[in-house]
Amino acid sequence: MKSATPILAQALLAASTTAFTACPASSSRAAQPQRTRPLHATLTADELNSMSRSEQLKVLGVEESKLALGIDPDEVLEFVGTRDDLVTKFTADIADLSSTDVEKEVDKFLMDGEMLDMYIKYNQRIAEDPSWKPEYAEQGGGSWTETAGTLVTAGIYLVGGILLKDAFDAWRNGGGGGEEVAAVAAAVDAAGSGGAL
């Protein structure tokens, strides 16, 4: 079975567009968002700053070795939530997974630094501007690629048609055009039987 982590991350991104509102600024950070939905452990930036890393990991619900390198637990708590929050969100988004599969996928997500960082940055962007919507790349690549694809296809059909026409003409004419091949084959046979070229 393929990993469902990319599917789950995409579902998380889609489901979290309205998850934040602005809250008052803290002493060490600029204006920090606060979740509008209650989490199991809703923490303000001041509370996160007063906690040690080990306390933050304990609130998050993971060991330090189970969190991707380069990811701060305070950012995960602030913009994503606790491990239990992720389990709840994954269960709601993908109901087909069993509880053990959901927990495995949550653990994979927490270990995937790129996906977790992207999700944190996405939620930070939403917190800064709640009306922001991601811009997606245009599908299809535009008219130039369509034209090039059409020309390549036409060229393949043209060359294939010419080759088929030549093969058909040679077959219809009784193997015409093969005189040179027959002469070389006769020379090879003669050389093999002791004659010289």
Is the per-residue pLDDT at 32 higher than 70?
no
Amino acid 21: pLDDT: 34
User: In one letter, which amino acid is 97?
Assistant: L
30-34, 53-57, 187-191: range with lowest mean pLDDT: 30-34
pLDDT score of 27 more than 70: no
- pLDDT for the residue 29: 39
Q: Which residues of 167-195 are buried (b: 16+ CB within 10 A; e: fewer)?
A: eeeeeeeeeeeeeeeeeeeeeeeeeeeee
pLDDT the model gives residue 141: 61
In Å, what is the CA distance from 105 to each residue of 88, 95, 108, 190? 12, 13, 5, 73
Q: Which residue has the higher pLDDT, 187 or 131?
A: 131
> Residue 143: what pLDDT?
77
Chain segment 61-82, per-residue pLDDT in tens: 899 898 989 888 888 888 888 8
Which residue did the predictor score with more confidence, 194 or 16?
A: 194
> b/e map of 84-100 (b: 16 or more CB within 10 Å)?
ebbbbbbbebeeebeee
Q: Which amino acid is at 18?
A: T
pTM of the predicted model as reported, rounded to 2 decimal places = 0.49
CA-CA distance, 81 to 155, in Å (whole number)?
A: 56
- Which pLDDT belongs to residue 190? 76
Q: What is the mean pLDDT of residues 145-167?
A: 88
